[in-house]
Amino acid sequence: MLFRKCLSVKALVVRAMAGGLVVAAAAKGFAKDDVKYGKIVELLTLKAAPAKDNPKLTTIEIVFNLSPDLPKDVKMEFELEYQSEELEKAYFQLKDENRKNLKLSFTPKTRLAVDEYFLRTRVRLDQQAEAVKEAILKKEKVFPPDQEPWPMYYPDKPIKVGSKKDKEAEDQEVKEYFQRSCDALMELSNEFMEAMEAMDKGEKFVSEKKIDQKPLVDFILGWMKKMGEQQAALENYAKAEPALVRKRPVAYGYLGELGRMIAKRCYRDTLPKILAKYGSNLANLKITADKNFISSYRFRVRPVDLENKYKEIARLTGFGEEGEEGEEEPEGPKPGEGEGAGKDEKNQ
């Protein structure tokens, strides 16, 4: 009997670390002791609130002071970061001689997850008017040329987004998303494996012990299209909800791998075996895969692997009987090791 239920995934995603020096200059590759400039921006207050036009988005309000060494008309870059990765950039231009209690407000285009966010500021010379650039370069001791754009990071000034109630709603939404996505992939797995089971018995896509190629190819192409749509939807989710994905990178990585594992087990493992029984192979079908369909996976996929991985997704995101939410790097075998992992197989 062919195995019908393909269930779960394994992640290769590593959580980014949110941290750094007060004047972290990671982009330039020098350490705190190498920083030769002082405080350029002093953050006074940081506030996050639902955007007026769209409550799902968040408006960030910043009150700050600027160094008196910065010339009038200087353009400042404020980068909003989550787990040390850029989410959004906003800009402020100094229009007069006042450098105290300045205000900047901006609304990131994507929704922010309930968590803490941080700012990084820069003064990029290529964004300045020629007169501003000359004024900055004249002050080499204040603005060492080799350390442009003079970045500053503020780990002691977190921007706290969302309330306890918001977190509960977000957790529920995430649970539903992961369960819905897993269910959709499992349904596709079951659909394909049931068809192969019938084909193996000669009940479908077979006539007089020979393959009835057209209906078989039509079925495979239709199934590939649906699987490709699911895989594309996963990628689009990361673009639409980057903060939610970065908050749960392991579970998201597992979900992506789930699709690839199911695609490989169905199309590259099970189908060729059934075709061989009838003296045929994949090449004979002359199938052009859907552009979003991904079946490459390095390791052999067995039923026990898929079942175990499904439980891991449920544990990480809190859905189903296995649910006990907590995003941590799971213990046990790495991808391709331990129970359920077969020998290394090259992508076909």
Q: What would the pLDDT profile of 91-103 be if each residue is shown by its tens digit?
A: 999 999 999 999 9
Q: Are residues 260 and 320 located together in one domain of the fold?
A: yes
3-class DSSP assignment, residue 27? helix
99, 120, 154 — which closes off a domain? 154
Contacts of 154 (CB under 8 A, 6+ apart): 22, 43, 118, 119, 120, 121
Other C-beta atoms lying within 10 Å of the C-beta of residue 12: 12
What range does the domain containing 251 cover? 164-344
Q: Regarding beta strands 115-122 and 75-82, do their DSSP bridges make them parallel or antiparallel, or are they unpaired?
A: antiparallel
Pairwise pLDDT comparison (19 vs 70), residue with the higher score: 70
Both ends of the chain: CA-CA distance in Å?
25
Residue 227 has pLDDT above 70, yes or no: yes
Name the burial class of residue 280, with classes exposed (0-12), middle (13-18) and buried (19+) by CB atoms within 10 angstroms of its CB: middle
Residue 71 falls in which region: left (phi positive, over 0), alpha (psi -120 to 50) or beta: beta
133, 154, 175 — which closes off a domain? 154
Which among 53, 82, 46 has a CA at the least distance from the CA of 241?
Answer: 82
Can you tell me the distance from the alpha carbon of 112 to that of 287, in angstroms, rounded to the nearest whole number? 42
Percent of the chain whose predicted confidence (pLDDT) is above 90: 73
The reply to whether 8 falls in a domain is: no
The reply to whether 274 falls in a domain is: yes
Residue 2 has pLDDT above 60, yes or no: no
Q: Regarding beta strands 102-106 and 58-66, do their DSSP bridges make them parallel or antiparallel, or are they unpaired?
A: antiparallel
Domain count, the chain: 2
